[in-house]
Amino acid sequence: MQNDPFSHGLWEKTAPPPPATGRLTGERRADVVVVGAGFTGLSAALHLAKAGVSVAVLEAVEIGFGASGRNVGLVNAGLWIMPDEVPGILGKEHGERLLEALGDAPHVVFELIREHGIDCEAEHRGTLHCAADAKGLREIEERARQWQARGAPVRLLDRAETAARVGTPAYLGSLLDDRAGTIQPLAYVRGLAQAAMQAGAEIFTASPVVETKRSADGWCVYTQQGSIEADWIVVATNAYTTAPWPQVRAELVHLPYFNFATPPLPAEALERILPGREGLWDTREILSSLRRDRQGRLVFGSVGALRGAGAAVHSAWAKRSLRKLFPFLGEVSFESAWYGKIGMTADATPRFHRLDRNVIGFSGYNGRGIAPGTVFGRYLARLITGEIGEKDLPLPVTDPREQSFRPLREAYYEAGAQVAHFVGARL
């Protein structure tokens, strides 16, 4: 996108084309304006349109331009943090409600894919959280205990079964979550856009919001070439938020994340590496993720930005790491590379904000955007239509709070990952 091969990499090469859209021009009226054409915004638009609400989506660049089109494509349940931590942060009522909603969220994603025939390489085969060391093994054992206490279909795999499923003896064990799976994320978000438009939503791309003003009937939302009057505004921009809601950006620390994709592997390698087509991530502090696409490529990712010296450092690290995991591959090459930004909150839980009268949105996905974004978009639609009230949401209403030393922390994360990868996985 925007002639940048490092923005969406493999996903842009292999996704079906997006539905035809154009800039907003002139003056319009809608019941709801959704700002941001990612998972949350397009899920909200789809569910609003299906409920008979007139909805217009304004996207600053292109459908899926932000994290929705760049992530690794793991459709996971829950949050990064342990389940038992969530009620302690949000309170028992909201905490357990959020865990229930996000535990079921992958099912919602795969049902939407089925219902609307979205061509996005959906593989509902589970994901593996792999223990890199003894500490990581204790972590996944505790995570399994907490999810199993809530009736979740998760189970621990020993080192031998993990090796058989992954294709390497490098991990001490893994946690298999049968709720989860993988998708081609840019294809999925484009499919959501197509489904929303077929349901009656309008989508305008290359239309960044520059200003909002109250009007007699609600709000007037302005772009450079047009405006829309609406009763409601849904802010669905998360880590890629700019004006006119800088407070949303201020509460998120950006964590860069990259992915590399190999060429399609030979059949004998695919018989050994993730033969069940699960996706995985590990327990390292600077974690790694790994999955296959439908054409047999390996998609390998970790924390870091592919700019400046980082591009060469992270590429060399990824090649060393894959050779260590799978020595039988020999020399590894990459045909695609891309990266984006994860929005991290101070306590690793997402947020629901009422930014003004009838201006609402979720943000702060902390690296779990696909399933939560889809489900949260549906919650927003149900809230606007009156099907539920704010008391029924899985998160309490909070005000955005700027994180301290945010620019320094963002620079530290990018530089720290580069240093770690410069020395890591050396033979």
Q: What is the pLDDT of residue 204?
A: 98
Q: For residue 338, what is the enclosing H or E element? A: strand 336-344
Q: What local confidence, expressed as pLDDT, does residue 427 receive?
A: 47
Asked whether the beta carbons of 24 and 44 are under 8 A apart, the reply is no
Which residues fall within 8 angstroms of residue 9, CB to CB, at 6 or more apart? 70, 259, 261, 336, 337, 338
Query: Which portions of the chain are predicted below pLDDT 50?
Result: 427
Distances (CA, A) of 96 to 35, 76, 147, 155, 215: 29, 17, 12, 21, 39
Query: Could you read off the pLDDT of 46-68 as tens digits, one per residue?
Result: 999 999 999 999 999 999 999 99
> Which residues make Cβ contacts (< 8 Å) with residue 25, sequence separation at least 6?
225, 226
| CATH hierarchy code of domain 5-126+179-423 | 3.50.50.60
Q: Can you read off the two tokens belonging to residue 87?
A: 């009620």
| Inter-residue contact 364 to 349 (CB < 8 Å) | yes
- The residue ranges of every structural domain in the chain are 5-126+179-423
Q: How does pLDDT run across 239-259, given as a tens digit for each residue?
A: 999 879 999 999 999 999 999
| Confidence at residue 60, expressed as pLDDT on a 0 to 100 scale | 97
